[in-house]
Amino acid sequence: MATIAFGSGLVSVRSEQTDAFRSSLLYTQNFNFLRLKRSCASSMTRWRGVGVPRATAEAVGGRVIERGEEVEEKEKGSVLRVGVVCGGPSAERGISLNSARSVLDHIQGGDIHVNCYYIDAGLNAFAISPAQVYSNTPADFDFKLESLAQGFRSLSDFAEHLAGSVDIVFSVIHGQFGEDGGIQELLEKYNVPFVGTGSSECCQAFDKYNASLELSKQGFITVPSCLVQGSEADESELSKWFARNRLDVESGKVVVKPARAGSSIGVTVAYGVADTFSQANAIIIEGIDSKVLVEIFLEGGSEFTAIVLDVGSGLDSHPVVLLPSEVELQFHDSVDKDAIFNYRRKYLPTQQVAYHTPPRFPIGVIESIREGASQLFRKLGLRDFARIDGWFLPNSIHVPTMSDSKFGRTDMGTIFYTDINLISGMEQTSFLFQQASKVGFSHSNILRSIIRRACTRYPNLAPFCSASDHVPRRSKTSLRSEPVCKGKRKVFVIFGGDSSERQVSLISGTNVWLNLQAFDDLEVIPCLLAPTIVKNKVDLSSRTIWSLPYSLVLRHTIEEVLDACVEAIEPDRVAHTSHLRNRVVHDLTEGLKKHSWFTGFDITDELPVKLSVEQWIKLAKEVQATVFLSVHGGIGEDGTLQSLLEAEGIPHTGPGVMASKICMDKLATSLALNHLSDLGVLTINKDLRRKEDLISSSIPNLWHELTSKLHCETLCVKPARDGCSTGVGRLCCAEDLLVYVKALEDCLHRIPPNSFSKAHGTIEMPNPPPELLIFEPFIRTDNIIVSSKSRNEKGHQILWSGESRWVEITVGVVGTQGSMRSLTPSITVRESGDILTLEEKFQGGTGINLTPPPSSIISNEALQKCKKHIEIIANSLELEGFSRIDAFVNVDSGEVLMIEVNTVPGMTPSTVLIHQALAEEPPLYPHEFFRKLLDLALERTVYTPE
């Protein structure tokens, strides 16, 4: 029978844990992981990464070196060896990989050497190459770990290895084993120094229910909660809790979430006892957690999150809370009626959520949030850094019955702290970097500060706590009208626009900007092409471009960036932010000035600059800038921006005007290639329809007409001139077509999962809806399953029936016009449904890409033919610079069936282009790859003196 306990000091609680039940889950809370063993064919190091030569080449200080070379070159003790550990058993292991990638990108240098390690879902440890860290998701390489990575026979062996190979461990494992004290206890047992909070403190803070009890004891106001625990249900106890908190047993609104599964996994909204009980049981049955927390939904409240940075020394804690962020949920349609800040809203770049840093709260409330989070950090014994989430309820909102706790009450409302994240996410635009940049820290500076502070706890790391010869490079994003000087070349990285892929454009542009900053001879300026209310692709006179200071780039959506630009020059908001920033900087300085290793803040408080497109073009010409185009779709990919730049002789990345125009139009692309069938390049028949005609048509008649004309039973529908991911769906019957057309008519932002007759994920729709749509036969490919849930004598496997002999690929092409070269293709794997979702294409930690394609699927001979066919496509379309081609390939003949060409492809941190560049010989790391693309722009267009 389940046990149900109550939090927030309402009634006495049962806090004991059920070991027998816990042991039935994937991960055991009693930390018997030290007894876990794995069979391994050999413990010998086998460094054969994705295109990485034997002995593993690693990127250090902007060059490729052999593993260990850098450390040997330095005097002993002068280089800090950091072991970055990622992965883990939780559903957030993909996000953990993203965090590891950021840490690797931003801390490695002459004075810090990084070794990378990965823990798989079965708690097996591996030393991995940096190339694997740049994979999109662990499933990209899980199946081949035993053949390309050094495996450890047990976690004990792994810990012993760490004790002898690194000076300090930086774990970025999110959720189970990373934040619950698991890896911390392992490291403590083997006396391995590590960044972050100790094991016992992690264990208490990670468990949301136990943390709530402790906070209540410490005098904090907590949200009334109920714990459902066990393998069976006792609905009557839950009913009593509903009654006690004056919640309607039929419709009372609550939040249901695992007690020990991170901040967003499995979090849902429920109504009434029956629904709540059902959802709690689902979490238990699915094995997410055996403890489920039910909390009153804080209707009318505002959610916030705050990064806490410990600037103390040794065992003395000195927590400083940075500028908190307000999390504003966006409600667009009925689909969002139960909106909460869940996994999808946190990590997928859509307009479902907006962040405000600092929050739009009164200054007194923000100061109370900072003071409370600082006290919480101390009282729970946290170390180095953490992220603390909570809610603010203004006095106008009824606050549920609660304990007599005092902290959290203010004259303007009530503050609740609900979640403690011991290892905050470290994706490039995460809260850690957003809030740190607001007070003067670059990505590198904040991460290095966290690591150096952790070193002060360990006497043997004292040499690394003294003055560092690493001086942060001050970030400048000025658009001053100056010619190139002192050997520096100006680069304008432009992103944004109006297309449905504008949010992905933001991630691409941010990634390019951050990577190109690695080069001292470049001055890289991020620029936002502001979205417009009225989309006019001809008259650009009303369009604006903003040059952005560092902190304004790090936002969730293009709209957030634009709002932040407006706020940055609005007097009242400027005064509000400046007051708060000065307080935080003062608090930080008081602690950091005691550390000789801290060499200062490296981001200046600059203002954004607003220009018309004409002014921006003129300025680019005056300063002899090269433009790196990261505007996906719209005027960034249809030749418009290319035409403006080329008219003034300004170099830009990617293809020229005509190639861009053709490739933007999927029908025109197909027509331009339909003469190449004898050369092994095939095209798909298409039918173009206007949106208005679809809405006014008889759906049954239309379905019959389309399937008859295209000679198929099921259809694929997509916008004719939009990006490669939005609005794409498989239609299996007339009823599916009706759902899609109705979504167009109603201007829906998304089609909910499983709205069609065949299971599918959420379909993000272009907004506004496209005027032209393409219908084509749905091309059936065989499912590819990457099996990693069980271990046998063969380990992880790829399961593929190979009946149709066609698989979907995506491949980058790079070079000059007429001499484009194909990179190694990637096989794209759909995890659910028939169409790759927006998440699978662009959300880090989601989606599987097999690079290079396994020989069990396609032979090397067929692969080489495929690459030749891809090059024929690229050169026939007169592509140059770089592009990405999506296609189906026949695994026997290497014939290619074209899908589309993206002339401004995604350049996100986990894009397949990075995987493919790393598969080159020698491997190209992200900053080198983007530099190559930049240099290719100069090969096509050069300035001539007037």
pLDDT of residue 18: 32
8 Å CB contact between 540 and 613: yes
pLDDT of residue 417: 94
Both ends of the chain: CA-CA distance in Å? 85
What separation in angstroms does the CA of 303 have from each of 362, 398, 433, 687, 846? 14, 16, 19, 47, 26
Which DSSP helix (H) or strand (E) runs through 553?
helix 550-553
For residues 339 and 102, give the distance between their C-alpha atoms in angstroms, rounded to a whole number. 29
* Burial class of residue 84 (count of CB atoms within 10 Å of its CB; 0-12, 13-18, 19+): buried
Gap between the Cα atoms of 751 and 740, Å rounded? 8
Using alpha carbons only, give the angle 484, 486, 487 rounded to the nearest 5 degrees: 70
Enter the tokens of residue 762: 């959420």
The dihedral through the CA atoms of 422, 428, 429, 434 has a sign that is positive
pLDDT above 70 covers what percent of the chain? 81
In this prediction, the residues of the chain whose per-residue pLDDT falls under 70 are 1-77, 231-233, 262-264, 330-352, 399-405, 467-486, 533-539, 723-725, 787-796, 830-847, 941-946
DSSP line for 255-268: EEEETTSTTTTT-E
The Cα-based distances of 507 to 207, 424, 459, 495, 498 in angstroms read 32, 19, 41, 9, 15
3-state helix, strand, coil in the chain (%, to 5): 35, 20, 45
What are 721's two structure tokens? Answer: 């001139």
pLDDT at res. 485: 54
CB 133 within 8 A of CB 86: yes
Contacts of 175 (CB under 8 A, 6+ apart): 88, 89, 90, 91, 92, 93, 261, 262, 265
Q: Compute CA 612 distance to the chain's CA centroid, rounded to the nearest angstrom.
A: 31
Alpha helix locations (H) across 166-271? 182-189, 199-206, 208-217, 235-244
Give the per-residue pLDDT at 39.
Answer: 28
pLDDT for the residue numbered 396:
75
Q: Which of 658, 677, 684 is nearest to 869 (CA)?
A: 677
Distance between CA atoms of 433 and 429, rounded to whole angstroms? 6
β-bridge mates for residue 529, sequence order: 496, 545
Three-class secondary structure of residue 717 per DSSP: strand
pTM: 0.85
SS (H, E, C) 723-770: CCCCCCEEECCHHHHHHHHHHHHCCCCEECCCCCCCCCCCEECCCCCC
Phi, psi of 764 (to 5 degrees): -70, 135
**Where do the domains of the chain lie, and which CATH numbers do they carry?**
80-196 (3.40.50.20), 204-435 (3.30.470.20), 488-654 (3.40.50.20), 663-682+782-939 (3.30.470.20), 687-777 (no CATH)
pLDDT digits (tens, 9 = 90+) for 165-181: 999 999 999 999 999 99
Mean pLDDT value across the chain: 83
What distance in Å separates the CA atoms of residue 508 and residue 494, rounded to the nearest whole number? 10
CA atoms within 13 A on the CB side of 184: 23
Distance CA 416, CA 376 (A): 12
Name 8's Cβ contacts closer than 8 Å, sequence gap at least 6.
Answer: 212, 216, 222, 223, 224, 225, 402, 403
Determine the Cα angle at 430 with ends 209 and 488, to 5°: 160
Structure tokens at 207: 């468990």
